[in-house]
Amino acid sequence: METMFAQAPGVALWFLLPAAPICLWAAWSDLATMKIPNRAVLALAGAFAVVGIMVLPLPDYGWRWVALAVVLAAGFVLSSLRMLGAGDAKFAAAMAPFVALPDAGRFLMLLAAMTLAAYVLHRTARALPAIRARTGHWVSWTRGRQFPMGLALGPTLVVYLALAAAGA
């Protein structure tokens, strides 16, 4: 049976264990404050550094750090053009090494779908008085057209790793 992702299921599972709580923390923080903490970015990159060296062949491990640098450079440009927040750019860069290079296209398609779903979910939730009453302090409810991209970024990595770990 052919799998959808090139990421080995065992590798994906090892990555998923530390990445999931960090990604969910980043999403929650972005909803509440419209900021992804630098600690979350460093924690995610650190998780890759520790787990990656143990589960990946050395050449693959090195190339995945190159992916981080490429995404960081692209994110810097997008952030400079005010198309993306700086925290979003840094978090996307920290996510990059977790994605196997052959999976990049599928990952970006997943990111597009998750971004659309997160946008609809966010806009629907902020329009519901019952939700606003419980989370009235969240900055993302009052930022007009701005969207907490961490709500899409973090869950996308979690879903990708979960699917890869399941051998999808």
With tokens 């959808």, the residue in question is 4
pLDDT tens-digit map of 82-137: 999 999 999 999 999 999 999 999 999 999 999 999 999 999 998 999 998 898 88
Q: Say if 3 falls within a structural domain.
A: no
The pLDDT of residue 168 is: 82
Q: Say if 2 falls within a structural domain.
A: no
For residue 2, what pLDDT band results from cuts at 50, 70 and 90?
Answer: low
Least Cα distance to 98 among 166, 49, 141 occurs for 49
Q: Say if 4 falls within a structural domain.
A: no
The pLDDT of residue 1 is: 52
Q: Say if 116 falls within a structural domain.
A: yes
With tokens 């143990």, the residue in question is 54
Number of domains the chain is built from: 1
**Domain hosting residue 104, numbered range:** 9-165
